Amino acid sequence: MCSSVYHFIQITILFLFIGSGFEHAVLAQSSMINVFARQSTSLNGKWQVILDPTGTGNWRQVWQEKQPEKKTDFVEYSFDGGPVLNVPGDFNTQLPELTYMEGTVWYKKTFHHEIKKHKRLFLHFGAVNYLANIYLNGEPLGQHEGGFTPFQFEITDKVKPGQNRIVVKVDNHRFKDGLPGLGYDWFNYGGITRDVNLIETPVSYIEDYSIQLHKSSKGMIRGWVKLDGAQSVQPITVRIPELHIQYKTQSNDRGFAEIEFEAHPELWWPDHPKLYNVIIESETDTLADEIGFRTIDIRGPDIVLNGKPIFLKGVNLHEEMPLRAAKAFSKSDALVLLSWVKELGCNFVRLAHYPHNEYTVRMAEKMGLMVWSELPIYQHISFSAPGIEQKMDLMLREMVKRDRNRCGVVIWSLSNETYHFTPNRNQALITLTKQCRELDSTRLITHVINTQGYENHTFNVWDTLYNHCDFIALNEYLGWYVPWQGNPTETKWKLVCEDKPVLISEFGGEALYGNHEGPPDEAAHWNEEYQEQIYIDQIAMFENVPNLVGICPWLLVDYRSLGRMHPKYQSGWNRKGLLSDQGDKKKAWIVMKQYFDSVRNEY
Ligand code: GCB
């Protein structure tokens, strides 16, 4: 990053955090990889909180936890005697007064620590939505922006023997120059929404690695290992016991070692999601991971997995547990949601519209689901706002770093439904695409667009941003927002890039489960029959879509969205689910399942 950009970020930070103890704020460090395999102490559980809807806590300097000293002193805040909240978890669903909160909640946790020699200590957050300022023992550690990616702070030299206290200021305001921005069609769950851990590492530790099949090759594993710490030059070994592989190399003076060796693993397929135990060792550290091997490519108008054309039978999913109407965050949440995905007959899941938690990604991979992971660059982003491109770049790096060893992840989606007329949109997204290819050229990259033309039965996919994508991903709501022009089977298609594969990343319509009122052909009754007919018509139309490589209904299950205001049918829920918020199957589920069961992939 050039120095003027840094200068700009510093000024912005100065302005944002005046009075918060963050006048010289430090940005959070990027999270180390594979935190599940680390020596860690969980800080999940009950955290004390102060609710601060007016944002007064900054000038009261809540993080200092002042105490009265003289008889005449008093302090107008305290964590003691106040509410407690569960971490991980959104705050909105834990206290009635936080239901619609978009503002600040201060969280506090104490922990006991014994200093160990020759160890480093990191405070790690799976995600905090949206802005997080972190303080340790009254001193600011730094800040992180973005609600869906992990970050950490090294506290080796700051932690004290005995009791320590962490204060986190969580602010879930929507920001005009945020990612996402001001408007989005899902619930803005605030809080420390994913795990918090204290992670202990050796002084020089394995900070990152990439171990995957080389692009398009089934017999060559390539990658690298990166160490962090003073002892940068070390022998490095990568072992895959099941394949009798023991590859040895050495890191250079920057702690970096390239890896390349021949191997013939059983490939990862949706119906054979084989993962291998892979052990990465340096002289000072050892880490184990479960890694699968596959290739994913574009060949002409096809997406090919392990060299074979594959049809992606997918469904969209938000990170929400409908059964308790709250943010999803655990392994068991992931199991419930992904079991429904499997039951529907899918081999693919689109994790919309932001990076979901790591449990979900890992479990999807284990269950044989290809994963689409997405950045929250959604609709009306202020692409020309100062600093926004740096934020996009940072978030991209955080997303790719966490999951780059997950063979299940086959697609990076860098944006959803942005508009060609937004100033600087093309330039910003093309740059981001290039950055993504530099970071990871082994997966497919796309942008989702919904502004197509539809005239004289012809669906016109014209946005030139597609020239920069590996395949065309489009959202079309024919039969719902856009009425059919004649018989769905007569729809003709015009593609801006004629040779590229086409994936329909969203289609569908709303229905309230159990509602059969009104004529089946009138949308305004939200009945199941109308939604069912959309699915029947869409499936008929798919026959004529050129280069169709996959479809992804919007979406698996009804989800909360406060902009959905019809009191009888919606009451704050988007009802486009194939399942109700209680997991009941709507009629459209059956149509979709039959379709998926009828589409066979031959490999
Ligand atoms: C879309 C968006 C999705 C919305 C959906 C809808 O095109 O990508 O986030 O929620 O439409 O329900 O209208």
Best probe residue, ligand 1, of 185, 482, 574 (max atoms within 8 Å of C-beta): 185
Q: Please give the pLDDT value at position 1.
A: 38
Ligand 1 centroid to Cα of residue 366, in Å, is 28
- Asked if residue 23 has pLDDT above 80, the reply is no
Determine the atom of ligand 1 nearest the C-alpha atom of 416: 8
Residue nearest to atom 10 of ligand 1 (CA): 185
What CATH number matches the domain at 216-294, 2.40.128.20, 2.60.40.10, 1.10.10.10, 3.40.50.300? 2.60.40.10
Ligand 1 centroid to Cα of residue 352, in Å, is 10
Please tell me the distance from the alpha carbon of residue 146 to that of residue 124, in angstroms, as a whole number.
15
Half-sphere exposure of 423 (CA within 13 A, CB side): 5
pLDDT digits (tens, 9 = 90+) for 449-507: 999 999 999 999 999 999 999 999 999 999 999 999 999 999 999 999 999 999 999 99
Ligand 1 centroid to Cα of residue 414, in Å, is 16
Determine the atom of ligand 1 nearest the C-alpha atom of 186: 10
Span 288-296, mean pLDDT? 98
Pairing mode of beta strands 548-551, 502-506? parallel
Ligand 1 centroid to Cα of residue 379, in Å, is 10
Measured from CB, residues less than 6 Å from any atom of ligand 1 are 185, 353, 416-417, 450, 475, 506, 554, 574, 576
Ligand 1 centroid to Cα of residue 265, in Å, is 40
Ligand 1 centroid to Cα of residue 215, in Å, is 33
Please tell me the distance from the alpha carbon of residue 214 to that of residue 166, in angstroms, as a whole number.
43
Please tell me the distance from the alpha carbon of residue 346 to that of residue 522, in angstroms, as a whole number.
30
Ligand 1 centroid to Cα of residue 497, in Å, is 24
Q: Take residue 109 and report the two structure tokens written for it.
A: 């946790």
* Residue 562 and residue 571 in contact, taking contact as beta carbons nearer than 8 Å: no
Percentage of the residues of the chain whose pLDDT score is greater than 70: 96
Please tell me the distance from the alpha carbon of residue 209 to that of residue 131, in angstroms, as a whole number.
28
Please tell me the distance from the alpha carbon of residue 165 to that of residue 110, in angstroms, as a whole number.
4
Determine the atom of ligand 1 nearest the C-alpha atom of 448: 8
pTM for this predicted structure? 0.95
- Asked if residue 18 has pLDDT above 80, the reply is no
Determine the atom of ligand 1 nearest the C-alpha atom of 353: 9
Span 399-417, mean pLDDT? 98
pLDDT digits (tens, 9 = 90+) for 236-254: 999 999 999 999 999 999 9
pLDDT digits (tens, 9 = 90+) for 95-113: 999 999 999 999 999 999 9
Ligand 1 centroid to Cα of residue 60, in Å, is 41
Please state the CATH superfamily assignment of the domain spanning residues 298-598 in this structure.
Glycosidases (3.20.20.80)
Determine the atom of ligand 1 nearest the C-alpha atom of 352: 9
Percentage of the residues of the chain whose pLDDT score is greater than 90: 95
Residue 337 in 3-state DSSP? Answer: helix
Pairing mode of beta strands 444-449, 409-416? parallel
Q: Please give the pLDDT value at position 126.
A: 98
Please tell me the distance from the alpha carbon of residue 590 to that of residue 578, in angstroms, as a whole number.
9
Q: Please give the pLDDT value at position 602.
A: 85
Ligand 1 centroid to Cα of residue 175, in Å, is 20
Residue nearest to atom 7 of ligand 1 (CA): 475
pLDDT digits (tens, 9 = 90+) for 221-237: 999 999 999 999 999 99
Ligand 1 centroid to Cα of residue 185, in Å, is 6
* Residue 224 and residue 257 in contact, taking contact as beta carbons nearer than 8 Å: yes
Averaged pLDDT of the chain = 95
pLDDT digits (tens, 9 = 90+) for 63-87: 999 999 999 999 999 999 999 999 9
Please tell me the distance from the alpha carbon of residue 143 to that of residue 134, in angstroms, as a whole number.
6
**CATH T-level fold of 19-202:** Jelly Rolls (2.60.120)
pLDDT digits (tens, 9 = 90+) for 318-375: 999 999 999 999 999 999 999 999 999 999 999 999 999 999 999 999 999 999 999 9
Determine the atom of ligand 1 nearest the C-alpha atom of 561: 10
Ligand 1 centroid to Cα of residue 336, in Å, is 23
- Give span(s): CATH 2.60.120.260, the chain: 19-202
The residue behind tokens 């302005």 is: 15
* Residue 179 and residue 146 in contact, taking contact as beta carbons nearer than 8 Å: yes
The residue behind tokens 């503002």 is: 103
Please tell me the distance from the alpha carbon of residue 314 to that of residue 341, in angstroms, as a whole number.
8
Written as one string, the DSSP assignment of 503-538 is EEEE------TT---S-TT-GGG--HHHHHHHHHHH
Ligand 1 centroid to Cα of residue 319, in Å, is 15
CA distances from 204 to 226, 227, 252, 500 (A): 10, 7, 13, 46
Q: Which amino acid is at 130?
A: Y
Under the banding of pLDDT at 50, 70 and 90, the label for residue 216 is confident
Which residues on adjacent β-strands are paired with residue 479?
none
Cα dihedral 556/558/563/564 (nearest 10): 120
* Residue 251 and residue 225 in contact, taking contact as beta carbons nearer than 8 Å: yes
pLDDT digits (tens, 9 = 90+) for 158-192: 999 999 999 999 999 999 999 999 999 999 999 99
- Asked if residue 425 has pLDDT above 50, the reply is yes
Please tell me the distance from the alpha carbon of residue 457 to that of residue 61, in angstroms, as a whole number.
62
Determine the atom of ligand 1 nearest the C-alpha atom of 481: 13
Determine the number of helices (DSSP H) and then strands (DSSP E) in the chain.
8, 36
Written as one string, the DSSP assignment of 111-146 is EEE---TTEEEEEEES--BSEEEEEETTEEEEEEE-
- Give span(s): CATH 3.20.20.80, the chain: 298-598
Determine the atom of ligand 1 nearest the C-alpha atom of 576: 12
Best probe residue, ligand 1, of 381, 417, 552 (max atoms within 8 Å of C-beta): 417
- Give span(s): CATH 2.60.40.10, the chain: 216-294
Residue nearest to atom 9 of ligand 1 (CA): 185
Best probe residue, ligand 1, of 554, 557, 565 (max atoms within 8 Å of C-beta): 554
Which of 174, 260, 282 lies closest to 563, judged by CA? 174
Residue nearest to atom 4 of ligand 1 (CA): 185
Best probe residue, ligand 1, of 188, 351, 418, 475 (max atoms within 8 Å of C-beta): 475
* Residue 301 and residue 499 in contact, taking contact as beta carbons nearer than 8 Å: yes
Under the banding of pLDDT at 50, 70 and 90, the label for residue 25 is low
More confident residue, 385 or 26: 385
What is the number of other CB atoms lying within 10 angstroms of the CB of residue 456? 9
